[in-house]
Structure 1
């Protein structure tokens, strides 16, 4: 069955502070909003829409990986021992299992994501 994602309003998303185990906020409280649009029956693949207010957070993909397509905003991802990379609307990025580093959301972002285990 084909599932079409329609544009979502902010009111369609669940808001909460970013917290472990997803990521560790480094710059104080960061509000994120999200909605899961798809999950398979054993939850090895999950996808949806995620938004974040500006802030700095540490991400460690130890048990899962993530592929994102940035729909709006600006963020800088800096893998440990790597170079910072700026992502802007239209950019896509892949965070394989084992990726560790810091995300700096410069302007509010909205992304489509696929998490896999």
Structure 2
């Protein structure tokens, strides 16, 4: 159902998102038999960000983030833990940000459903180039009669 957003707004209701099985890497599962499902429902025009709905049944597992991900819990709850830090409980309405390059341990007691915004990280030097180009383009456009 993924749509590329070029203008306007795309909204989605929970019941409209059809989730497909998305098995967790068995080497990452620490306890239980968590069953995960996922659906991408929108993508930015430049392809750098996408919007997903994901859910998972009970279990404990590690997850590696190779992209930046921001989540909001929309049903159920879980706890997340990075390395030896204390676990953080997340419930409906809570949000979390996972920067690329980190492992996180997820503990799902019963069920969790989240909305996720996934973004491919852009190296800082490239951001300066892109942002600088954008500012120059705006100045040129504003200066034109």
Q: Does TM, scored on the shorter chain, surpass 0.5?
A: yes
Cα distance in 2 for residues equivalent to 1:57 and 1:41: 33
Q: Deviations over 1:4-58 (max 9, x none)?
A: 1122268x211242227xx822224321111101123554212121100011110
More strand by share: 1
Within the candidate set 3, 22, 44, 2:48 is matched to 44
Q: Is the 8 A contact 1:67 1:114 kept in 2?
A: yes
How do 1:1-117 and structure 2 match up within 5 A? 1-8=8-15, 12-19=18-25, 24-40=28-44, 43-61=47-65, 63-117=66-120
The 4+ residue runs of structure 1 with deviation greater than 4 A are: none
Q: Partner of 1:18: helix, strand, or coil?
A: coil
More helix by share: 2
Q: Partner of 2:114: helix, strand, or coil?
A: strand
User: What stretches of structure 1 of length at least 5 have no aligned partner?
Assistant: none
How many correspondences in the alignment?
A: 113
Please provide the CA RMSD for this pair. Answer: 2.1
CA pair 19-43 structure 1, distance change in 2 beyond 3 A: farther
Question: Bigger relative contact order, structure 1 or 2, given CA contacts below 8 A and separation 6+?
Answer: 1
User: What stretches of structure 2 of length at least 5 have no aligned partner?
Assistant: 1-7, 121-145
